[in-house]
Structure 1
Amino acid sequence: MSSRPDPTARRAGGRHGHPWRAAGTAVVVLLAMVGSGLLGAALNGSAALTPPQPMAPAGAGLPDPDRADLPAVADPADTQRVSAGLPRAAPTTISIPRIGVNASIMALGTNPDGTVQVPPLEQALLAGWYEPGPSPGEPGNAVIVGHVDSAAIGPAVFFSLGALQPGDIITVNRQDGSSATFRVDSVSSYPKDAFPTEQVYGPNDRPSLRVITCGGQFDETTGDYPDNTIVFATLHP
């Protein structure tokens, strides 16, 4: 798999609404993810299944970027690793044992019109890393996105993302042979017109991960899911 954005990736808006737009070098992405392409089409012509929904209300338990506390660890070297993070390396796979995810990761960028790429629907079992941002394990918020379902295959890579709970583990294997293990801080659902852009794409001194898909009850009238499910996680020894 190439480390460059896949030229076949579709624009994030597509037939599902407004696109994501990257704004400047700060990589603050205006993700009012209205039908962002992480998606929902009625499955096989019938009503879509409803993916699991987060237990926490939107914003509950978000890590405070001003706090410097870290998970308790026995080895000072582990504390240093979590504080300093890892060197940049492209992610290759993501594993989330609680929900049975073990998926390859493709690199994504932006399209010529400024919209953020998403994995092609034909590859809805793949996750996508937003390459202009930090890599998983680097200081900052690494962002991995994926489809919730598709008309062709039904539930997709992140269909069960909303079932995750604080304390669950996410492991991202990296191209340099290392792995970055993250512990979930919180899982929340946000209306697409209230996407928490700053918490997802804003600055962060700690190595963190954001995993995003669509959520809520599929709306057959609009052909879209109304919400986004977002997992907030922090690098763990």
Structure 2
Amino acid sequence: MHESVEDYLNAIYRLRAGEKIPLPLSQIQQFFAFSRGSVHEMITKLDDRGLVVYQPYHGVLLTASGEKIAQAVLRRHRLWERFLTDLLEVPWADAHKFAERLEHTVPEAVTERLAKLLHNPLSCSLGATGRDGEVCCQRLVTLDAGSSCQISQVEPESLEILQRLQELQLNPASQLQVVRHAEAGTTVLVKGTSIIIPADIATTIWVVVTNTSEGGTA
């Protein structure tokens, strides 16, 4: 499949972050910094191919086929990020840039070998449900105090956000325990060290819960 098609489907999926409501074309235009005309043209083509449903004056939704492709692209991206950050110790922001290239060019068979090499790291689709209907990928800011989790991804995944996470020494494999949420940010424990993640950054972090708290939200 053409790289631009995968990029559009992936962008729609990530910008919606699991919500089943139409995504305004203006958000796609802003994401890519493309003209409104070029975005409309591509969305029309994707609609014709059955990968999205375009609702004029409302926005666009992924079909089941489009979402499947987007999830596959995102999975490849996450695996390459984990390989680069975990095994090669590449800074997250740089790993993200390299993964954006590799996600389109590596055969599926290689992706599966990579997943096996990494011991199938914890990850899940945005807003996806796990066993018994439990959400397996959640925003960090929704977790109760005492919950333990592992960073899965950030949305939006801008270089600025990734660089700020690097400064906090956080990466896609970081294990966190939530201490409290406050207006200024979320306090977490990482290997016994207390870290305050600024509020504007904390809201972008999606995690896989590894255990839940016994108490309520702080």
TM-score, normalising length from structure 1? 0.25
Would you tell me which structure has more helix in proportion to its own residues? Answer: 2
Would you tell me which structure has more strand in proportion to its own residues? Answer: 1
Larger radius of gyration between Structure 1 and Structure 2: 2
